[in-house]
A = this chain, B = another copy of it.
Amino acid sequence: MLPNPIKNFVEVFSKLPSIGPRQATRLAFYITSLGKNKVKEIASAVSNLADLTACSRCFRTHTGNEKLCSICSDPTRNQKLIAVVEKETDLLSLEKTKKFNGWYLVIGELHKNGELEPEQKLRLSALKNFIKKELPPSHKASEGKGVGKAEEIILATNPTVYGDLNAATLKKELGEFTDKITRLGRGIPTGGEIEFADEETLGSAIDKRS
């Protein structure tokens, strides 16, 4: 019953997070009704996303031709301080507080069962390699010499049951690569999401990390 281009649009868009088949169908008809020029404009808004590349260190998307993004290539940022975030929108929210001078690892949305996807394992390996090879060894006398170590890794997962579970998984993975491992302070209301926290709350959450 539905014309093929509509059917195809619905199929593709209803796979995207938080878009169901009903909303996709409405969108398809709505976009069509805007006329050919608008359709092309919207299509290129999508296809232009292909110009983005992932930073080879933190995996956030950026437009430059450089391998590293503006944060990772910024010499004033503390390389020994790393925040692991799930989503880029989480990173952006943290950046807005201007309270964090380290860099990030964007690990991607974590599964509710606490398991890591292959891509997420690769990103963790990249982080571990960077720490071992590029950072100075721990200042603690008890530590083995030669192998680099982070000063602090903040596990900036959401303060939810699943976020706790995932933080535990990440702690197991990263514990030996850092002197200190922390989470954001519970200034954020439990059950809330980083992305939706206001700057003030998020700022104190950085201060109160523990």
Interface positions of A (Cβ within 8 A of B): 1-6, 8-9, 11-13, 16-19, 22-23, 25-33, 36, 39-52, 61-63, 87-89, 92, 95-96, 108, 195
Contact = CB atoms under 8 A, between A and B. Distances in A.
A93 to B, nearest CB: 10
Given A6-B52, A22-B195, A63-B4, A31 B12 contact: no
Contacts of A18: 23, 26-27
Contacts of A5: 45, 48-49, 51-52, 63
Contacts of A45: 5, 8-9, 11-13
Given A48-B5, A51-B5, A27 B36 contact: no
Contact of A50 (B4, B39, B48): B39
A73 to B, nearest CB: 15
Contacts of A63: 3-5
A98 to B, nearest CB: 11
Nearest to A196: B22
Contacts of A88: 29
A39 B31 contact: no
A29 to B, nearest CB: 5
Contacts of A27: 16-19
A111 to B, nearest CB: 15
29 contacts: A1-B96, A2-B92, A3-B52, A3-B61, A4-B63, A5-B48, A5-B51, A6-B52, A8-B48, A9-B45, A9-B46, A11-B45, A12-B41, A12-B42, A13-B45, A16-B27, A16-B31, A18-B26, A18-B27, A19-B27, A22-B89, A29-B89, A32-B52, A33-B108, A43-B43, A43-B44, A43-B46, A43-B47, A43-B50
A195 B3 CA distance: 18
